[in-house]
A and B are shown apart, each in its own frame.
Chain A
Amino acid sequence: MNKIEVKNLDLYYGEVQALYGVNMQIEEKEITAFIGPSGCGKSTLLKTLNRMNDLVEGCRITGEVLLENTDIYKDMDVYQLRKRVGMVFQKPNPFPMSIYDNIAYGPRTHGVRSRVALDEVVEDSLKKAALWDEVKDRLKKSALGLSGGQQQRLCIARALAVQPEVILMDEPTSALDPISTAKIEDLALELKNAYTIVMVTHNMQQATRISDKTGFFLMGKVVEYGTTEQVFSMPREKETENYITGRFG
């Protein structure tokens, strides 16, 4: 089933066009990877999916982005959208507060007040993010004391705590060491049973290891989009082949 559908999407930063006529269907409960050289528009597209691009001054969009057939730019409250479509950033960005408060921030924002319910959400989210065993004894300690990999899993747990349907990950492992990266990848594979995941990555091995679909971006256009297996083993387009065989980018 299609979770997200992008139709004829053009995007401009001021006078500069950053995305050209993007069409894409993103499947439910799969991992979709966006690959391509830097500046190709992959992160830009990711950010249109939960309207984080609204923050960029002078950013304009034409076209449609549908979440379960509802136009997210017309018929949906942006805060509701971001609750349903969570995001994990390139650099781990835990808030400068306790681990507990980090996770509870989202639910509190959306009106959960009861202590019992919050405790439950915190434990549940941390377990889902495979972090519970490491932090259960220091929930009240500052999240900034965690290692980089733990911080990123905390950010994933924080995103999970608002019960999203889709999780956007913007190069989530680019700031992490190989062991932490492996943990995040395992986690993503685990999470796709319940969530739809869209991940931007600069690491092609990562895309082949974990994603079901892959989109290859070049200069603001989606050059090729298909199953990961097809894109990497028999790319239809010359540019894709050049990129994945390392001839440029």
Chain B
Amino acid sequence: MSSLNTINKITFKQKMEMYKKRKGSLAVRMLVKLSALITFAVLIYIVLFILINGVGHLNAEFFSFNYTTENVSVIPAVINTLVIIVISLVISIPIGILSAVFLVEYAKRGSKIVNLIRITAETLSGIPSIVYGLFGMLFFVNTLKMGYSMISGGLTLAIMILPLIMRTTEEALISVPDTYREASFGLGAGTLRTVFRVILPASLPGILAGVILSIGRIIGESAALMYTSGTVAQIATNVMDSGRTLAIHMYLLASEGLYTDQAYATAVVLLVVAILINMSSQTISKRIIRKG
């Protein structure tokens, strides 16, 4: 009796038999696998190529505090990037969270104002960064006379990441079960108290994931900053100073063609940051899924 063996496992040989009669399906199957292979091979190639060629150029000089033409240190750019991140987040996190709370907890679903806000947020997320750059230059740099400065760059990017923070917060708020709201209202709490004491704490991980993604976008941004925060290669000592961020630093090194080694090293830094951000937002969203 063969009944002790499982019988519904298709062996490789059977599979080949099947496909031999159906060459079209076989070809399609191959194309699907080939495409997936290309996609992931390209990614792995880019990552490994940059890491392998760049790691050797990471040295103490590269991380020195002073920037000179002989030693194009990355540290000023790192500090400027941090400054821009702080400015953008300080502005866009409160606005983003408050707007998401308005959309989810206060506004009537499907009302005209909600639709308008949704449409504008979607429009904002589709605008290319160079257009943000142009706007930042016209509005913050020229009209508000902030000049090429950290504050101009930070404000420009704050608008750019606003839709991202709004959307992730909105999703996090929606995923909070209605039973929480009912419980809080049932105890006599008002909307405000319910939002701040129950709903926002419960949706914190989702909001955090959005913030991390926003940080990734700020670090990677270049086109929106060229003509807002500028390209000066020194540490910005106050918010009205101009200074280049890491991504702009990278662009200038690579396009000048004189500092290929340092460009490699900067690429390593940017890539590692992108990987870390990717991993931490994944970890957080995994935890959300497990909890929910």
Contact = CB atoms under 8 A, between A and B. Distances in A.
Direct contact of A and B (CB under 8 A): yes
A77 B17 contact: yes
B116 interface: no
Contact of B6 (A48, A51, A61): A61
Contacts of A8: 1, 3
Contacts of A60: 6, 8-9
Interface residues of B, number: 14
Nearest to A21: B3
Contacts of B10: 54, 78
A61 B7 contact: yes
B4 interface: yes
Contacts of A48: 8
Residue from B4, B7, B22 having most chain A Cβ neighbours under 10 A = B7
Would you call the interface of chain B mostly helix, strand, loop, or mixed?
loop
Interface in A14-69: 48, 51, 53-54, 59-64
B36 interface: no
Contacts of B204: none
A109 B21 CA distance: 13
B18 A62 contact: no
A73 interface: yes
Interface in B3-27: 3-10, 17-18, 21-22
A64 B3 contact: yes
Interface in A97-150: none
A247 interface: no
B5 A62 contact: yes
B21 A62 contact: no
Contacts of A53: 8
Residue from B3, B4, B10 having most chain A Cβ neighbours under 10 A = B3
Given A8-B3, A60-B8, 10 more contacts: A53-B8, A54-B8, A59-B8, A60-B9, A61-B6, A62-B4, A63-B7, A64-B7, A73-B8, A78-B10
Interface of B: 1-10, 17-18, 21-22
